[in-house]
Amino acid sequence: MSHHHQFYIDGEWVEPFARAMLDVEDPSIEEPFTKIAIGSRADVDRAVSAARRAFASFADMDVADRLALLRRILAAYDARAEDLARALSREMGAPIAFARDSQVAAGKAHLVATIGALETFPFCEQRGTTRIQKEPIGVCALITPWNWPLNQIVCKVAPAIAAGCTMVLKPSEVAPLSGLIFAEIMEAAATPAGVFNLVNGRGDEVGHALAAHRDVDMVSFTGSTRAGISVAKAAADTVKRVAQELGGKSANIILRDADLDQAVRDGVEACFGNSGQSCDAPTRMLVPAEWHDDALQIAREAAEGFCVGNPQEDGVDLGPVVNLAQFNKIQRLIDLGIEEGALLVAGGPGRPDGLNRGYYVRPTIFGHVTADMTIAREEIFGPVLSILSYETEEDAIAIANDTIYGLAAYVQSGDLDHARRVAGRLRAGSVYLNYPAWDTSAPFGGYKQSGNGREYADWGIHDFLEIKGIVGWGKSDG
């Protein structure tokens, strides 16, 4: 049975108070393929009330029981993996292999990492005669984006459960079906009633109502910096905690002791993954000035090797971007790059040849980009790479840090100690040396306008906890 027209509240699938519906579009054909119900303040009130009623008993649940719940969720998630992949491919245009191997796999990886972290997580410690206790913060509003739906749902839901919090999830209305399947997973895992609730809706309605709600103790939000500011303002009147993972414009510094060919090719691939729709994508490649033209040739060859097309077909590397608004934004920024004097090396405006329908973007490379150009400063969120040059290493570090964002940075070097020294000077929450494997135990979050708080493994659990000091407790029993 489809739950597209329902919400999951207090352990049951319920009808919305109002019968407002929203089309869900397939970006590969530019046509709606289903509708979802969208909520109102009344639906938010019902969900928050359910979470509030469930909080006291769930907060007191033994860690062993919360671990058992997370393991049941993991088993139910595995059982629905193919359903999740197909929903993601349809709602956001992810190539089906990428949906399976990256999008769905990311959610599973976070469940596994959170389970591992909870097994040894220290909820209390002794400092002299003071006892430090870490306790669940309360009812949490979880607001997640469309670009990595399961990654962001799981790396909020799993640590909230580990901490003993109850929650209301609002998935992106652009890509909501994976969130509805996730709610079915939570039901299948016998999650206690009221612990997990889902209400679909628009950010300026349901998201705002959750952020401003007096009975919500914390908001965990992932999305654009613009939307994050709105969430923080809505939350301010009730002085609730707000954890945010926002935009990025990540620099990728290729040092003079790097293998240029490999570094550039891998950098193009890292930038274009998920059709460029990743907040931590390395979208600004910095190369030594004397290597600039060689880097452009390598990048052109790499870009031309990407297959853009129907996400349901085998062998496709890049599907469409998620919707018309995103497509138009990317086209505007590509046009601005040309107007402001950047050299168009590959790709450019319009759809790839042979694709006349769908929000497909040509994999685009710009060279001779300067740090003051719009494409070097704004988050494009599409398969567009800007290549800048630098004279000295000091210049490269200064250019990398010259941004309002600070989510991620990348350093490529043949000398690991050299890369480490540069990493230490970059103002970013994550720095990746020589394109390492993804690490779900590493903290993820940003400096500056890329947000606050950290996600993944035990770092995520900390965000959902309050810290209590009981002074005069006495000596530790152990």
Q: What is the pLDDT of residues 2-52, one digit of tens each?
A: 899 999 999 999 999 998 999 999 999 999 999 999 999 999 999 999 999
Q: Residue 19 has what pLDDT?
A: 87
Cβ-based neighbours of 453, under 8 Å, separated by 6 or more: 220, 243, 244, 245, 445, 463
Q: What is the pLDDT of residues 349-385, one digit of tens each?
A: 999 999 999 999 999 999 999 999 999 999 999 999 9
Q: Residue 41 has what pLDDT?
A: 97
Q: What is the pLDDT of residues 337-351, one digit of tens each?
A: 999 999 999 999 999
CA atoms of 286 and 223, how far apart (whole Å): 26
CA atoms of 236 and 231, how far apart (whole Å): 9
Q: What is the mean pLDDT of residues 42-64?
A: 98
Return the biggest CA–CA distance within the chain.
74
| Domains of the chain as residue ranges with CATH | 7-246+450-470 (3.40.605.10), 251-445 (3.40.309.10)
CA atoms of 405 and 76, how far apart (whole Å): 37
Query: Is residue 338 exposed (0-12), middle (13-18) or buried (19+ Cβ within 10 Å)?
Result: middle
Q: Residue 2 has what pLDDT?
A: 87
Whether the pLDDT of residue 478 is over 60: the answer is: no
CA atoms of 475 and 301, how far apart (whole Å): 66
Q: Residue 477 has what pLDDT?
A: 64
The backbone torsions φ and ψ at residue 123, rounded to the nearest 5 degrees and listed phi first, read -80, -10
Q: What is the pLDDT of residues 193-234, one digit of tens each?
A: 999 999 999 999 999 999 999 999 999 999 999 999 999 999
181-202 burial, b for 16+ CB within 10 Å, e for fewer? bbbbbbbebebebbbbbbbbbb
Q: What is the pLDDT of residues 251-297, one digit of tens each?
A: 999 999 999 999 999 999 999 999 999 999 999 999 999 999 999 99
Contact 384, 330 (CB under 8 A): yes
Q: What is the pLDDT of residues 87-96, one digit of tens each?
A: 999 999 999 9
Catalytic residues: 245, 279
CA atoms of 213 and 39, how far apart (whole Å): 15
Q: What is the pLDDT of residues 175-189, one digit of tens each?
A: 999 999 999 999 999
Q: What is the pLDDT of residues 85-137, one digit of tens each?
A: 999 999 999 999 999 999 999 999 999 999 999 999 999 999 999 999 999 99
Given the DSSP bridges, would you call strands 7-9 and 384-390 parallel, antiparallel or unpaired? Answer: unpaired
Whether the pLDDT of residue 476 is over 90: the answer is: no
Q: What is the mean pLDDT of residues 153-160?
A: 98
Whether the pLDDT of residue 1 is over 90: the answer is: no
Provide the token pair at 469: 């000091």
Q: Residue 388 has what pLDDT?
A: 98
Helical segments of 353-474, H only: 393-401, 416-423, 457-463
Q: What is the mean pLDDT of residues 234-239?
A: 97
- CA distances, 92 to each of 34, 321, 329 (Å): 13, 7, 16
Q: Residue 110 has what pLDDT?
A: 98
Contact 190, 53 (CB under 8 A): no
% the chain with pLDDT above 70: 99
DSSP 8-state code for residue 237: T
Q: What is the mean pLDDT of residues 372-400?
A: 98
Q: What is the mean pLDDT of residues 308-336?
A: 97
% the chain with pLDDT above 90: 98
DSSP 8-state code for residue 437: P
User: Which amino acid does the sequence have at 163?
Assistant: A
